[in-house]
Amino acid sequence: MAHADGLTLESIRNSLIRQEDTIIFSLIERAKYPIIPQLYDSRCSVLPGISGSLLENIVRETEAIQAKYGRYQFPEEHSFFPDNLPDSLVPPNSYPQVLHPAAASININKTIWDMYINKLLPLIASEGNYENYTCVAASDLECLQALSRRIHYGKFVAEVKFKDASEEYSPAIQAKDRDALMKLLTFESVEEMVKRRVEKKAKVFGQEVNLNNDAGNGKCKIDPSVLPCLYGEWVMPLTKHVEVEYLLRRLD
């Protein structure tokens, strides 16, 4: 069903499908580098006297620049370090306001950060040394932003699902019944398709391309089986968590 803002569940799902490409390409890029412990060390041994890890500092400062030029005016963008972000110098955009205003209070980037560093990175890279720390940090930030955008897109998914069936969702929202909301918004067959598709995309995007017809002897730049695991264990459950959090505030 199309709503006044033109959003449909199909258009939202198409965006999620396109975002899979961004996530998989960014992980393939990140898999070129090792895990450099100095980048993630919470006492920042590279810059003594500076608090937080080197990655945290690079991300915080990169976000500050991007905030100044309007990145966080868009409801699909979420900062990893939202405290003390500079105001935007860019005039407000005319992006249609499709979400309930309470959406702005939902930001699960801390959970996404911990999942990325502690669970996902070890599946695609191993410890080693590489001197260009900022290059690796930039690659981490690409992955983090792509994952964050996808997971917080749950707000848009939830808005469309609510508009499509408000009479079913409203009683569960009023009763603050998380389990009932989770049941209503879950489509297991869609989740199975997503897992199969991301595995296939990783195989296709990660293959060696050469001018013979052997598709790179089946070699792959990233283990394709990481993708269904990433999506099944973290990306989809976190997207659904965002959906539930949004719905709980939808009638405020």
Ligand X SMILES: C=C(O[C@@H]1C=C(C(=O)O)C=C[C@H]1O)C(=O)O
- Using CB under 6 A as the criterion, which residues of the chain lie in contact with ligand X when the complex forms? 13, 16, 157, 185-187, 190-191, 194, 236, 239-240
Cα 27 to Cα 227: distance, rounded to the nearest angstrom: 10
Q: Whose Cβ is closer to ligand X: residue 19's or residue 53's?
A: 19
Alpha carbons within 13 angstroms on the beta-carbon side of residue 248 total: 14
Q: Smallest distance from the beta carbon of 103 to ligand X, in angstroms?
A: 15
Q: Which is nearer to ligand X, 16 or 121 (CB)?
A: 16
For the bound state, the minimum distance from the C-beta of residue 161 to ligand X, rounded and expressed in Å, comes to: 7
**Least CB distance from residue 106 to ligand X, whole Å?**
15
Contacts of 221 (CB under 8 A, 6+ apart): 28, 31, 32, 206, 207, 208
List all residues 6 or more positions away from 103 whose beta carbon is below 8 Å from its beta carbon: 75, 155, 246, 249
For residue 130, the minimal CB distance to ligand X (Å) is 33
Going from the C-alpha of 125 to that of each of 26, 32, 136, 225, 240, the distances in angstroms are: 13, 8, 12, 14, 27
Pick between residue 39 and residue 172 the one whose CB is nearest to ligand X. 172
| Per-residue DSSP letter, 120 | I
CB nearer to ligand X: pick between 81 and 156: 156
Nearer to ligand X, 154 or 206 (CB): 154
Least separation in angstroms between CB 231 and ligand X: 7
- Distance between the two ends of the chain, CA-based, in angstroms? 24
